[in-house]
């Protein structure tokens, strides 16, 4: 099995959620990030929660992608 095929079979986000749904939530949350730089009371917590949402959604995906690239490709390349 090639590295690309192994990555496709172990990628949780592509098999369960789909390809583009991972980016839809952070993109819609990015609109509220401007609240971090606002002086209005309700906008600041909205901006903080938006930043938290973007972080919680994207960081596990990025870690999974990096582990897949560096770990699975190396393990398959050695055998």
- DSSP one-letter string for 32-59: GGGGGG--STTHHHHHHHHHHHHHHHHH
User: What is the reported pLDDT for 62?
Assistant: 84
> Structural domain tally of the chain?
1
In this model, does residue 78 exceed pLDDT 60?
no
pTM, entire model:
0.62
> Quick one: pLDDT band at residue 50, thresholds 50, 70, 90?
very high
Rounded mean pLDDT, 61-75: 75
Using CA of residue 26, residue 30, residue 32, residue 38, what is the dihedral sign?
positive
> What is the domain range of residue 72?
3-78
CA distances from 43 to 31, 32, 35, 52, 55 (A): 11, 8, 4, 14, 18
Percent of residues, the chain, with pLDDT higher than 90: 16
Residue 30 parent element (H or E): none
Rounded mean pLDDT, 1-30: 68
In this model, does residue 25 exceed pLDDT 70?
yes
């Amino acid at each position: 099995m090639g590295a690309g095929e192994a990555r496709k079979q172990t990628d949780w986000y592509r098999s369960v959620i789909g390809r583009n749904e991972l980016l839809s939530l952070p993109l819609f949350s990015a609109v509220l990030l401007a609240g971090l730089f606002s002086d209005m009371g309700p906008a600041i917590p909205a901006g903080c929660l938006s930043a938290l949402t973007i972080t919680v959604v994207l960081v596990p995906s990025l870690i999974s992608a990096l582990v897949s690239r560096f770990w699975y490709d190396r393990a398959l390349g050695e055998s």
